[in-house]
Amino acid sequence: MFSKQRTWLSGALWKPKNPHSLEHLKYLHNLLCKNQQVTEQNRSLLVETLRSISEILIWGDQNDSSVFDFFLEKNMLSFFLRYLQQRCGRYICVQLLQTLNILFENIRNETSLYYLLSNNHVNSIIVHKFDFSDEEVMAYYISFLKTLSLKLNKHTIHFFYNEHTNDFALYTEAIKFFNHSEAMVRIAVRTITLNVFRVDDKAMLRYIRDRTAAPYFSNLVWFIGNHILDLDLCVRHDMDHRSRDRLSDLVAEHLDHLHYLNDILCIGLDTLNLVLIHHLLNNLFIPLYVYSLTKRKKFDDPQDDRKHVSSVVSLFLLSQVFLIMHHRQLTQQLAEVIFHGDIFLTQTEGMQNSPKAGIREFRAPAESLEKTLENNRPKKRHIQTAPPSVGQEDGAVGETEEGSSTFYLTREEHTDTVSSPSTEGALSPISEVCSADTELSSPTQNSTDEEKLIGLSHRMAIPSGMPDHPLPFTLENRPYLETIFNALECMENDYSALFALCLLYAIGHNEGISQTLLDGVMMPTERSKSKDNYNILLVERLIRIIEQACQSGSKVRLATLEVSIKLLKQLVVREHRSYLQDRHLACIENARECSTQRLRNFYKSEEIFLDMFEDEYREMKNRPLNVEYLMQDASILLPPTGTPLTGIDFNKRLPCGEVERTRKAIRVFFSVRELSLCLMNETEAQLPLTKEDNCIKVNDVLDLNNSDLIACTVLMRESRRQERRFLVIDPMQLILVEPDSKRLGWGVVRFVGFLQDVEVSGDKDDSRLLHVVVHKPSSSIHSRSHPILSARFIFDDHIRCMAAKQRLLKGRQRARLQKMQAIERLLDIPPAPDGTRSRSIPIPGRSHPVRPTSSSSSTTSSPVSTQSQGRGSRRISAEQKRHLQAKAAQRSKSRQVMGPSMGTGLRSGVSPARDGVEMGEEATSAMAVQSLNQNISSNNSSGSERMSGSSRSSGRLVSAGSRGNQGDEARLEIPLEDLSTSSKQHRSLSFERARLARLAREAGVRTNHGHHQAVHHTLMMRSHSLSPHRSRQETSSLMSRKDPRRQSAPQTLATSFKAPSILQTILSQSGSDRRPQITCSGSSSDDSPDSGRARSWSGGAPKTLLPASAPSLSLMDSIGHSRRSISAAMLLPPERTTVVRRCEEEEEEETSRSTTLEVGSGDQGKSTDSALSSDETGPSSSDITPSSETSLSDLALGSEIRPSASTRDRSTSSQLTQLAQLVQEHYAYSCY
């Protein structure tokens, strides 16, 4: 085409050879001059001319400045404009826009740019009415505006924004397309606005705020709101997941909007933000999102035809808001409304006529943005006041006309109503501040906001979170928070619970919300110094969810479980320290036991189980749940489903089929275990099953002297490379080494793979050949396809080949077996005694079965011992705060008390050490029996077969009691914790009994420790950490005795202590009022549900800890192997002790260290002798006698008495030794 044009032209003009030269531009200028009218004929020529001009100009910009001078001199831009004005159609328009695009994008010379912009031609082009129905014109036009907006800065802004005429075409023309049907156009508009806002020019920004902000934002908010209504509609009508694509688009769109709004807020233009926040809150977030929370609840008014969405959707949307937006004023106000309810709404409801009633409403803007902007377009300066102020936003525009101060006043009035009408007085100073300071610098704003809040909370008598005077937390008058809390109850499913969790999590993580406000609803976050004051109601609901997740057939999805765990940690864990009350901790422990139990049911000794187990662990570690990503997923907006056919991620739906149920059980186990360890501030010692650190890595140099090496040639399948290697088979890994050139007998590792992933097969043609494939430990289940090694191993002869094959196969088997055993230990599955499974035979290199069993059992199944540890630390800290002054004196006193008792402990430990280990075990088991015995003696009808059962149940009772006790203690000492009315009843029932039991346990520790000093064990870890707390507990109990209210408890003990059947007494004292049948029942079958109920504090569904075979078996086993376990336990990581010691205070260091030993040995004895829950019976209940005596005598008589007490301990325990043996026999019988 062009060549034709050239021939056509050649006669008329001389065309320069070089297309990039001044001459060529002159030639083109000439062309333009001759073709000022666009016609059919010259159209193509003009297009090419325009295109060439842009090319030459850019060339000139980069190479020859005279080109640009010529362009400006001839004012060639005016040609452009003239062509446009001829309405010559798309063809020229697109070319012009492209030319301009290229010009503005590629010009780097700033002066050139200024010249281009200087004569207002560009603005004329911007306001030109292109044919925007043509999508290509639209695309080029908006790209042009975007290119210009990218060139904006403090200097160039004046070419676009005319201060005198108040004209800013670039911006106003762009925002007209804010709701264009094309996504790309909308994005460009957002980019342009952000680029404009970013320019720091006061006059321009004032213009934007006064003239365009209100109309733009109100229209934008309306646009967003309508999207939300669509989204809601989509959710309502799509129970079958049919329009998932559309839904996810709508969700993504909403996210885009939120991110956009957040980006605006983040630019930090306070004055503009005020307008935006006003519109967002009053026209969208509060009326549409928050008000919808209570829909279909009691607040719902059928006549109310205000637009709303379903409460599930609003929960989802609000969590997105809080996850994305962190702007202080916005989130603070929004959270305030959610927490405290909207008094404005409740008060003005029914008075629709009142002028303010319409303020918070989601409704269409009075007129379209384009119209408003047209009206605003300044022909003359004073016309703009004309638009009648329909609605708030227009009002704001009108008022801000004269100066900005009035604007803030109106704004503040809104804030007023946002918070509460009753606070008007409190707010007046702020309005003054604001109006005085036109620019409204942010510090001022901050401080006033704070003031306002404080004023607010005082006036409204809302708990301001001041730790000294906490008011009870209730959900009364908090309709929205109540809805959120209620959503946490997973009755049928966890559909809304997940969103409620995410919302609370997001609120807790939102930096914009002040801690004061959060303290008002007792939601501690990372920022709180202490987490003593957590919201019990909330925590209890979280625990319910966790408990539910651990049950079979649970409707709680993995994601829900994980978010509840996150939220729980956020509420109660701070810097590795848990503030969780003991009764709550006990519930978590219980849940952990349940999850273990449940996984035990799924446990199979099949290969696939191991793979799944490790895969899930990897998955959990590699892809931890990210709440923000979770809430980007539209699929969770639809009711939970179980089918993988929907393509929903596994953790966001219910499991389908046995395999997925197993996977879920594994994941639940990991999650709850991790939570429990975290709450107890322990580090994971057993997971992952493969410790990377212990593995041999490539390029390691190994001493292979005396190792079995098999030489072979490795032929890689893919690369066809051939290498001479030596095959070494480690217990876990397959290793290929190359001889080390430096040291004889050493080898350099060239390849390692896990034996468990090895696949070996022979070759039927070549007996010296093996096919070896080493699979990759996959990070996800779907990607098992890529083996890390796929090769043929060629050996020297077929004997070596056979040997290698056998070793690989055996090695694989053994490696897997070892891991299976590790899993069994984790799950407290005892090695089968009948020898049917090969794993019951101890394997060299494997640690003894009992050791891990007992240690883990004490974690999982003995909430008493573990929880007391957690509680010790927690309670003490609270106490210390409270009795800061009194503490020192009391501490010294307690040290006196402690000192001698320790001494006795040590002494008594040494003297009976004739057969330290043996003795220790027997003594503890004897104690276990004592209570049992007493229990049974009171119930003569019970046969000996039932003994084990009854002992277990009584142990449970005590443990349940002790848990309640802690609640009680907490209540007495820290009254603020007793705020939840719902759980009060439960707790008060168990208080008394529990208190006794706790004392009993403390005492038990005392008695035990004397005898088991020599015993050293893995358990030491736990008991180490126990000890300091224990010792402090005594301090605290001393202190508490000063409290007259508490006198009664020790007294009761004192009287009962001499009675032979002390447990009986305690149980009947505490239990008779409520559940006497437990006390006397000796049958295990009757008891287990009961005890289960006693354990679950909320009185919900009974926790079945049923499948009792495991405990009894493990118990059995541990008796048999107890001695070996002791010797195996020497591999104790020493750093544990230091961890513990950190928590101690220096002054007490000596004391507690020695206690450490004692208590450690005490617990040790316990757990070696009986692995599962039954072991608590012994130490915790039976030892009441001596210990309560000790502590009481401490109190009453002073330290002189103590030696006698310990003597008594010793004699008692030696008596019990025999009883213990008796019981062991019974245990043994009942097992077989």
Partner 1 sequence: MLEQLGQDPNVAVYCTSALHHPQSTGSRHFIVIDALSIGTSNVLGVGKSCLLLQFTDKRFQPVHDLTIGVEFGARMITIDGKQIKLQIWDTAGQESFRSITRSYYRGAAGALLVYDITRRDTFNHLTTWLEDARQHSNSNMVIMLIGNKSDLEARREVKKEEGEAFAREHGLIFMETSAKTAANVEEAFINTAKEIYQKIQDGVFDINNEANGIKIGPQHSPANQNMPSGGGGGNQGGNCC
Report which residue type is found at 325. Answer: M
Nearest CA among 801, 826, 624 for reference residue 712: 801
The minimum distance between CB 672 and partner 1, in angstroms, equals: 29
Piece of the chain touching partner 1 by CB under 8 A; list 250-258, 764-772, 898-906, 1074-1082: 250-258
The minimum distance between CB 264 and partner 1, in angstroms, equals: 9
Among residues 172, 191, 314, 570, the one that binds partner 1 under rule CB under 8 A: 191
Among residues 2, 8, 114, 1229, the one that binds partner 1 under rule CB under 8 A: 2
> Does 464 help bind partner 1 (rule: CB under 8 A)?
no
Burial of 845 (0-12, 13-18, 19+ CB in 10 A): exposed
Distance CA 1128, CA 1016 (A): 9
Nearest CA among 921, 930, 920 for reference residue 955: 930
> Does 678 help bind partner 1 (rule: CB under 8 A)?
no
8 A C-beta contact, residue 93 and residue 47: no
Among residues 24, 29, 176, 186, the one that binds partner 1 under rule CB under 8 A: 186
Among residues 11, 245, 783, 1142, the one that binds partner 1 under rule CB under 8 A: 245
> Does 1 help bind partner 1 (rule: CB under 8 A)?
yes
For partner 1, the closer CB: 224 or 1021: 224
> Does 48 help bind partner 1 (rule: CB under 8 A)?
yes
Among residues 30, 59, 646, 800, the one that binds partner 1 under rule CB under 8 A: 59
Tokens representing residue 527 in the block: 């920022």
The minimum distance between CB 268 and partner 1, in angstroms, equals: 13
Tokens representing residue 627 in the block: 């709440």
Nearest CA among 411, 308, 297, 317 for reference residue 362: 308
> Does 3 help bind partner 1 (rule: CB under 8 A)?
yes
The minimum distance between CB 1027 and partner 1, in angstroms, equals: 48
For partner 1, the closer CB: 217 or 473: 217
The minimum distance between CB 638 and partner 1, in angstroms, equals: 17
Distance CA 283, CA 1047 (A): 59
> Does 1113 help bind partner 1 (rule: CB under 8 A)?
no
For partner 1, the closer CB: 189 or 573: 189
Residues touching partner 1: how many (CB under 8 A)?
A: 52
Give the x-and-dash track for 570-609 against partner 1 (CB under 8 A).
----------------------------------------
Q: What is the CA radius of gyration of the chain?
A: 39
Residues 6+ apart with CB under 8 A from 165: 378
Distance CA 479, CA 297 (A): 10
> Does 43 help bind partner 1 (rule: CB under 8 A)?
yes
For partner 1, the closer CB: 40 or 575: 40
Piece of the chain touching partner 1 by CB under 8 A; list 45-53, 272-280, 436-444, 883-891: 45-53
Give the x-and-dash track for 17-36 against partner 1 (CB under 8 A).
---x----------------
The minimum distance between CB 113 and partner 1, in angstroms, equals: 15
Tokens representing residue 1159 in the block: 């208590």
Among residues 23, 55, 230, 424, the one that binds partner 1 under rule CB under 8 A: 55
SS3 1157: helix
Task: State which of positions 628-657 bind partner 1 (CB under 8 A).
Answer: 629
Among residues 26, 74, 128, 259, the one that binds partner 1 under rule CB under 8 A: 259
Positive or negative torsion for Cα 784, 785, 787, 793: positive
Q: How far is CA 983 from CA 432, 573, 703, 1102, in A?
A: 47, 22, 64, 16
Per DSSP, 581 falls in state: -
Label the pairing between strands 746-754 and 710-716.
unpaired
8 A C-beta contact, residue 932 and residue 959: no
Piece of the chain touching partner 1 by CB under 8 A; list 177-185, 358-366, 444-452, 659-667: 177-185
For partner 1, the closer CB: 63 or 165: 63
Distance CA 505, CA 568 (A): 9
Piece of the chain touching partner 1 by CB under 8 A; list 256-264, 542-550, 765-773, 1020-1028: 256-264
Piece of the chain touching partner 1 by CB under 8 A; list 8-16, 176-184, 226-234, 730-738: 176-184
Residue 701 bridge partners (DSSP): 748
For partner 1, the closer CB: 469 or 782: 782
The minimum distance between CB 260 and partner 1, in angstroms, equals: 4
> Does 63 help bind partner 1 (rule: CB under 8 A)?
yes
Task: Say which residue the tokens 């004592």 belong to.
Answer: 930
Tokens representing residue 998 in the block: 């706790």
- Helix and strand numbers (H, E) in the chain are 52, 12
Q: String of b and e for 986-1015 (b: at least 16 CB within 10 Å)?
A: bbebbbbbbbbbbbbbbbbbbbbbbbbbbb
For partner 1, the closer CB: 269 or 561: 269
Question: Checking phi first, is residue 1061 left (phi over 0); if not, alpha (psi -120 to 50) or beta?
Answer: beta
Q: How big is the CA angle at 555 (ends 553 and 558), to the nearest 5 degrees? A: 105
Per DSSP, 245 falls in state: H
Q: How big is the CA angle at 1031 (ends 672 and 578), to the nearest 5 degrees? A: 25
Piece of the chain touching partner 1 by CB under 8 A; list 93-101, 328-336, 634-642, 799-807: 93-101
Among residues 230, 249, 738, 1150, the one that binds partner 1 under rule CB under 8 A: 249
Residues 6+ apart with CB under 8 A from 1178: 924, 925, 926, 927, 928, 929, 930, 931, 932, 955, 1004, 1166, 1169, 1170
8 A C-beta contact, residue 954 and residue 1000: no
> Does 440 help bind partner 1 (rule: CB under 8 A)?
no
The minimum distance between CB 228 and partner 1, in angstroms, equals: 16
The minimum distance between CB 110 and partner 1, in angstroms, equals: 14
Among residues 70, 260, 322, 617, the one that binds partner 1 under rule CB under 8 A: 260
8 A C-beta contact, residue 212 and residue 220: no
SS3 1130: coil
For partner 1, the closer CB: 89 or 1133: 89
Nearest CA among 80, 69, 78, 83 for reference residue 25: 69
Task: State which of positions 939-958 bind partner 1 (CB under 8 A).
Answer: none
The minimum distance between CB 105 and partner 1, in angstroms, equals: 6
Task: State which of positions 95-154 bind partner 1 (CB under 8 A).
Answer: 95, 98, 101-102, 105-106, 135-136, 139-140, 143, 146-147, 150
> Does 252 help bind partner 1 (rule: CB under 8 A)?
yes
> Does 178 help bind partner 1 (rule: CB under 8 A)?
no
Per DSSP, 235 falls in state: H
Q: How far is CA 537 from CA 298, 336, 482, 485, 1190, in A?
A: 21, 19, 11, 8, 38
Q: How big is the CA angle at 1020 (ends 1014 and 1026), to the nearest 5 degrees? A: 120
Cα atoms in the 13 Å half-sphere on the side-chain side of 357: 11
Give the x-and-dash track for 713-752 against partner 1 (CB under 8 A).
----------------------------------------
The minimum distance between CB 983 and partner 1, in angstroms, equals: 42
Task: State which of positions 774-813 bind partner 1 (CB under 8 A).
Answer: none
For partner 1, the closer CB: 95 or 551: 95
For partner 1, the closer CB: 247 or 521: 247
Enumerate binding residues for partner 1 (CB under 8 A): 1-3, 20, 43-44, 47-48, 51, 54-55, 58-59, 62-63, 90-91, 94-95, 98, 101-102, 105-106, 135-136, 139-140, 143, 146-147, 150, 182-184, 186-187, 190-191, 194, 245-246, 249, 252-253, 255-256, 259-260, 262-263, 629
